[in-house]
Amino acid sequence: MIQVTKPFLPPKEEYLELVHQIWERNWLTNDGPVLRQLQEELKDYLGVANLWVVANGTLAIQIALKSLDIHGKVLTTPFSYVATTSSLVWEGIEPVFVDIDTNTFNIDPSKIEDKIDEETTAILATHCFGNPCEIDQIERIAKRHNLKVIYDAAHCFGTKYKGESVFNFGDISTVSFHATKLFHTVEGGAIISKNETISKRAFYHRNFGHDGPEKFRGVGINGKNSELHSAMGLVNLKHIDAVLDRREKMVSRYMNSLQKSGLKFQKITENAQPNFAYFPVLFENEKTTLQVKAALEECGIYPRRYFYPSLSNLNYTKGDTPVSDRISSQILCLPIYHDLSENEIDLVVSIILKTI
Ligand SMILES: Cc1ncc(COP(=O)(O)O)c(C=O)c1O
């Protein structure tokens, strides 16, 4: 069976070595030494100033919204994982959908200003599939209208924009370290902000508001992560360059073999260095997309309709986003994971070519 993705697992002994140490220490959570070491190593690797490891990428978004005191309406993308929209609704904020760009699949900056009204407080945009948004344009619009910017950078471990980590942009960036992400802590995520004051707020929010054992700063939540999860992160970080390198090679092989197929690929944003976290392919129409999906499934290969449905069509949302609706109906993310072999890629490609 070939799934769309498979978690990267490091050599077991490397993980167990850290587990032994955790056992000896009997310190399992609440900002333990492994979590703190992971935070330091991540800051160093990514080149970011302030980063807190949290329980998952969804709580990271929710804590980001609280830390920036976002309320009212937020302009957001309809083409993302459901957590981008549900986090807003969960926090009592109204998502206002701005349609996406046909080529990059990211929020279309030229359509943002039309949707701003007096209740709008922020923009929450996803760097879709690890491909950065039009950051400069978004920042200009945000400045002009005094809006905060949160980037849902769940897919973006290793992505760079203008030569630095994409996490350095916006008021806050959030990332997911879920097991299916190319860097993971089994479950996990992080909140990153260049701004010390905002980052401090997130620090308190993610731990019930605790400022010491008996003092609290504001309303918090339990967004902490554990020593066992952090140990997985520390070990995986040692292998991340090999993981990123392998991704790029797999994507090149897919692209080269599908070059003459007439299929459309995601356009990489200018000045961006993507991390090749996913390999999305756009088919001519929904019928062909579903035919290809069925043909692959018949051979035990399971691509995913990332992202379907468009988030403007959930049962608790509404929005007029024809581009997102169309892309959602025509897209498949093809299998990509560390030990996917070249033969397996060739098999996926041959079934696609035969079906279209
Ligand atoms: C774009 C996006 N945002 C948010 C999330 C939520 O992250 P998590 O699963 O770590 O809560 C995901 C998870 O896949 C995602 O793809």
pLDDT digits (tens, 9 = 90+) for 141-192: 999 999 999 999 999 999 999 999 999 999 999 999 999 999 999 999 999 9
Question: What pLDDT does residue 131 have?
Answer: 98
Question: From ligand 1's centre to the CA of 259, what distance in Å?
Answer: 30
**Number of neighbouring beta carbons within 10 Å of residue 265:** 15
Residue in 274, 271, 44, 277 with CA at minimum distance from that of residue 163:
271
Among protein residues, the one whose CA lies closest to atom 8 of ligand 1: 57
Question: What pLDDT does residue 317 have?
Answer: 95
Spell out, as residue ranges, where the chain has pLDDT lower than 50. none
Residues with CB under 6 A from ligand 1: 56-58, 80-81, 83-84, 126, 152, 154-155, 176, 178, 189
Question: From ligand 1's centre to the CA of 307, what distance in Å?
Answer: 12
Question: What pLDDT does residue 313 have?
Answer: 96
Question: What pLDDT does residue 193 have?
Answer: 98
Q: 7-238: what fold?
A: Aspartate Aminotransferase; domain 2 (3.40.640)
Question: What pLDDT does residue 39 have?
Answer: 98
Per the rule left: phi > 0, alpha: psi between -120 and 50, beta: everything else, 114 is alpha
pTM: 0.98
Is the CATH code 2.60.40.10 the one for domain 240-355? Answer: no
Question: From ligand 1's centre to the CA of 293, what distance in Å?
Answer: 23
Question: What pLDDT does residue 194 have?
Answer: 98
Among protein residues, the one whose CA lies closest to atom 7 of ligand 1: 57
Question: From ligand 1's centre to the CA of 288, what distance in Å?
Answer: 28
Question: From ligand 1's centre to the CA of 78, what distance in Å?
Answer: 14
DSSP 8-state assignment for residue 37: H
Give me the percent of the chain exceeding a pLDDT of 90. 99
Ligand 1, closest atom to CA 126? 1
Is-contact 275 182, C-beta < 8 A? yes
Is-contact 54 191, C-beta < 8 A? yes
Q: Copy the structure tokens of residue 241.
A: 């360059």
Domain boundaries, the chain: 7-238, 240-355
- Fold matches, 7-238 and 240-355: no
By most ligand atoms within 8 Å of CB, the mutation choice from 85, 176, 221 for ligand 1 is: 176
Q: Copy the structure tokens of residue 149.
A: 């910017």
Is-contact 230 91, C-beta < 8 A? no
**Number of neighbouring beta carbons within 10 Å of residue 338:** 16
Question: From ligand 1's centre to the CA of 184, what distance in Å?
Answer: 12
